[in-house]
Structure 1
Amino acid sequence: MKIGPYEIFTVNSGIFSLDGGAMFGVVPKVLWNKTNPADELNRIQLALRTLVIKGDGRIILIDAGVGNKMNEKLRKIYNIDSQQNDLERGLAEKGIAPEQVTDVIITHLHFDHVGGATRLDNGLLKPTFPNARYYVQGEQWYWANNPSEKDRASYMPENFKPIEEAGLLVELNGPGEVLPGIETLVMYGHTHGMQLPKISDGKSTLLYCADLIPTASHIPLPYIMAYDNNPLITLEEKKRLLPQAVREKWILVFEHDPFRPAGTVIETEKGFKLGEEIFL
């Protein structure tokens, strides 16, 4: 896909699983299990989908998956296959070396979004992309370093502290343009200061939905994760964003959907739902 000067595609950096009930909040299992079948532990399989934006002399990544640093206990809990969770290998298949990446936009600092941004090198933690700048909302950086009891387990300092220590961290202060043609929208329902990158050239618009709409199944307004710190704020954010996405025919990228990487949204008498499926 081409938007403005950029070639845009996705790289699957792996798969993992989370509890289906937690992923769908108040929605009954009899509804979500139809499209997201649970395993014997009630977990549903989810994708780890990094967006790659190439052009204008840059190689930009949006989010970095879980990485390969987790211990065996956590790998079992989250059903992580370390052989499949390798962002570097996925990029190599597209002809991209870690040293070529110029920018990494991190939507938020939960382990499944930033884990691949750092790696172990002979026992030392280092940024995976040594020549890149890493963009994080300042509010989210503060929250990650001072999490609540509810979401503390989602923030693992080894995933983001090495970025700061290497002098590669760029803290953003609210919504706006980050790079030419790329702006971020800032959300507060899922976590404080989550940013959604939006790429537009006046003709086409693509929005990386992160955990506001993690899968296409989460397009309907009531489908909100129990993981969200402020679900009613998530609801208002969806009510504000989805009508514009329908009117302007935005392409939404679903970071965690194992079957549908992207698509448009339509509004029916029953509410918002997936329109055309799009493969990037």
Structure 2
Amino acid sequence: MTLAIPQNKFEVEKRSLKIGPYDVCSVPTGLFGLDGGAMFGTVPKVLWEKTNPTDDKNRIQMEARGLLLKSPGCNVLIDTGNGADFVAKYGDKLGNKFAEMYGMDQAGPSLMKSLNSHGLKAEDIHHVIITHFHFDHAGGGVTEQGGKLVPTFPNATYWAQKGNLEVATHPNLREKASYYAANFQPLIDAGVLKLLDGPTENFIPGISCVISNGHTQSQQIIKVTDGQNTLMYCADMVPTSTHVKIPWLMGYDLQPLVLMEEKTKHLGEAADGKWFLFFEHDPYCDAALIERNGHDFSVQKRFWL
């Protein structure tokens, strides 16, 4: 899938960011496409297509973007993208269907290419945080090796929410096409998966999580702070910068009214505290600062990190 990113729709500033001991680094893992109507739910196309043009299949361009927190003694990766071993993980039929249906761009950025650009190999990652086990967030955490699926990062502890693993293990009919055992069972088998049970402070130094249930059950939203600078990794609570508006939700979200309450609370904290929001799926920017706009929110400034 090739979509032209609209030029000059947004002003995006390039900047570096350090929080505590961590250099904050964007990790693009690959472009793909999702149906624009599904991504914006009840928002009319005449509004969202101004900034998110579609292809002939009504797909908009999306990024699967992880976040690297890099320090001399501890490298933390948040989410791992779609991964590349579609056929090995899902079988010939489904694996090839994935690449075709979602317009996977396998010639562009990848998880390992991006980590290599920051001077890191898979062995250098100490912690991997999975916000939730949907395939576009957890797919890169497992890879094929010698005909067997194994953790991509052999020296890492993987962190996930107990409640989300339960949903992934027994998915409802609505989410069955997003949760696959190939993305979590190898982690369980290898003994590297550590489960959190609800909001947790400093489970890694400087890193905490809150829970969002609007998109899927027990999605963990990651907060990184040193008391002066704070970043919130929004995952699918706010997938792109255009989704900061409270009513702009995805058709994929299981509990829209719950999600609107969660966005009101967490984005209010971010606006008032001048937190950076990091967007997993926005192809046009990595992060943004937001501000209150009446009873809603709007983007103040966008960044590439």
Is 1:245 matched up with 2:278? no
- 2:240 alignment partner in structure 1: 215
- Work out whether residues 23 and 225 of structure 1, in 8 Å CA contact, stay in contact via their aligned partners in 2: yes
CA distance in 2 between counterparts of 1:86 and 1:260 reads 17
CA distance in 2 between counterparts of 1:270 and 1:39 reads 34
1:56 Cα deviation (Å)?
A: 5.9
What's the secondary structure of 1:153's corresponding residue? coil
- Structure 2 length normalisation: TM-score? 0.90
Tell me the amino acid that sits aligned with residue 11 of structure 1: V
What's the secondary structure of 1:58's corresponding residue? coil
- 1:134 alignment partner in structure 2: 158
What do the CA deviations read for 1:205-248 (whole angstroms, capped 9, x no partner)?
10000000000010001101110111111011001111111110
Identity, % of aligned positions: 44
- 2:25 alignment partner in structure 1: 9
What do the CA deviations read for 1:23-67 (whole angstroms, capped 9, x no partner)?
001001000101111111010010111100012611100000000
How do 1:1-280 and structure 2 match up within 5 A? 1-55=17-71, 57-70=73-86, 71-84=95-108, 86-177=110-201, 178-269=203-294, 271-280=296-305
What do the CA deviations read for 1:141-194 (whole angstroms, capped 9, x no partner)?
000001100001001111111011000000001111221110001110000100
- 2:5 alignment partner in structure 1: none
CA distance in 1 between counterparts of 2:295 and 2:222 reads 28
Tell me the amino acid that sits aligned with residue 205 of structure 2: P
What's the secondary structure of 1:263's corresponding residue? strand
**Which runs of structure 1 show a deviation greater than 6 angstroms over 4 or more consecutive aligned residues?**
none
Tell me the amino acid that sits aligned with residue 105 of structure 1: I
List runs of 5+ in structure 1 lacking aligned partners: none
What's the secondary structure of 1:47's corresponding residue? strand
List runs of 5+ in structure 2 lacking aligned partners: 1-16, 87-94
1:85 Cα deviation (Å)?
A: 5.4
Tell me the amino acid that sits aligned with residue 287 of structure 2: A
- Work out whether residues 68 and 85 of structure 1, in 8 Å CA contact, stay in contact via their aligned partners in 2: no
CA distance in 2 between counterparts of 1:30 and 1:226 reads 17
CA distance in 2 between counterparts of 1:51 and 1:153 reads 25
Name the count of aligned residue pairs.
Answer: 280
Tell me the amino acid that sits aligned with residue 239 of structure 1: T
CA distance in 1 between counterparts of 2:59 and 2:152 reads 29
Which stretch of structure 1 is more off in the superposition, 39-48 or 52-61?
52-61
